[in-house]
Amino acid sequence: MDLRQIQDILTKKASKIPPDYSETIQITSLALLKMLKHCHDGSPNQVMGIMLGTVVDDYTICVDDAFALPQVGWAINIDSIDVEFLKKMLKLQKQTQNKLKPVGWYHSHPGKGPFLDTDDAFIQKEFQQEEQRFAAVVIDPIQSCYGHVIIGAFRLVSQETFDLGVEPRLTTSNIGHLERPLVYSKTYYKMLIKYSLKEKDRKLLMSMKPYKWFDGLIVKRGSDAESENEGRIQNACELLDLFNQRLKEEHKLLTEKKSPQQIQAELAVKYVGKIDPRRNMDKNASIAIEDTLSQSLAAMIFNVTF
């Protein structure tokens, strides 16, 4: 075997090694809204929660949903995590037959910026021992403003990497801004974050139209108000039929001589993600009353003024 053959073999082996792309976390609009709302409501205290999603490949993690944990305080450590509540939520998640699984956790740093302190690194270490791809997301709800979210995704560098003297995996990007180096930032590395907008997320964002104070003074046309009332009446009839059907199903479960706990558990799983007819009827009735009063008062004001 001559030198040329050896070079050809090494070239073929090198071509089979996949390139090391930067690892990216894709967060949907629904998950981002849930996390931002939870962190903003908990300010100035720190809050935390679990992110649900899928591991697409070795370089991509998709976060589709999130739920909050009851931990609130000036600092969060591993001892304050309610393990029973976490197990209960994950058990309910499996009952919904949803393919999402925990892919990371999030918490807030109000006014401090996104980084991992000593307690956060210890929590991430415990999670990362169970799942190597588990990620930590930090959100600053106070410094975040309209159109710009102060957020960061991190993962700890494995201690084996330091022991063996191997260079850790680097994540390079021209996206971002200059950040102040921290003393304890050498124990973790930052990952890229991208935001995905699905069709259902787009519809959700479009439905969140902010109303202004003078919208209640706009008088609708009589034909438009009449068509809206007819639609509400038709919707109320459909909800009544659905509510009657649900009462028959609950009565059927009562005749099977099951305990109240079993009936409650079966109903909680059976109706998850479905429309609650009773709550929707109350909501539609309140909207109809408020709309009718608003239109009547606006018409009276215009008659007196003009």
Higher pLDDT, 62 or 225: 62
Question: Please, which pLDDT band fits residue 250 given cuts at 50, 70 and 90?
Answer: confident
Question: In whole angstroms, what is the distance from residue 159 CA to residue 168 CA?
Answer: 10
pLDDT at 277: 84
State in words which class domain 21-207 has.
alpha beta
Q: How far apart are CA 265 and CA 253, in angstroms?
A: 12
Where b means 16+ CB within 10 Å and e means fewer, 264-294 reads: eeeeeeeeeeeeebeebbeebeeeeeebeeb
Confidence band, pLDDT 50/70/90 cuts, at residue 206: confident
Asked whether residue 13 carries a pLDDT value surpassing 50, the answer given is no
Least reliable range by pLDDT among 120-134, 197-211, 273-287: 197-211
Q: Is the pLDDT of residue 50 over 60?
A: yes
* Residue-wise pLDDT tens digits, 222-247: 788 888 888 888 988 998 998 898 88
Rounded to an integer, the average pLDDT of 209-214 is 69
Between these two residues, 9 and 242, which has the higher pLDDT value?
242
Q: Quick one: tokens of 235?
A: 């919707």
Q: Across residues 44-66, what is the average pLDDT?
A: 87
pTM: 0.60
Q: What is the mean pLDDT of the chain?
A: 77
pLDDT tier at 1, thresholds 50, 70, 90? low
The dihedral over CA atoms of 103, 107, 111, 115, expressed in degrees to the nearest 10, equals -50
Rounded mean pLDDT of 136-146? 85
Query: Does 257 have pLDDT greater than 80?
Result: no
What average pLDDT score do residues 266-287 get? Answer: 79
Q: What proportion of the chain, given as a percentage, has pLDDT over 70? A: 77
Cα dihedral 109→115→121→124 (10° resolution): 80
On whether the CB atoms of residues 149 and 172 are closer than 8 A, the answer is no
| pLDDT band at residue 174 using 50, 70 and 90 as cut-offs | low
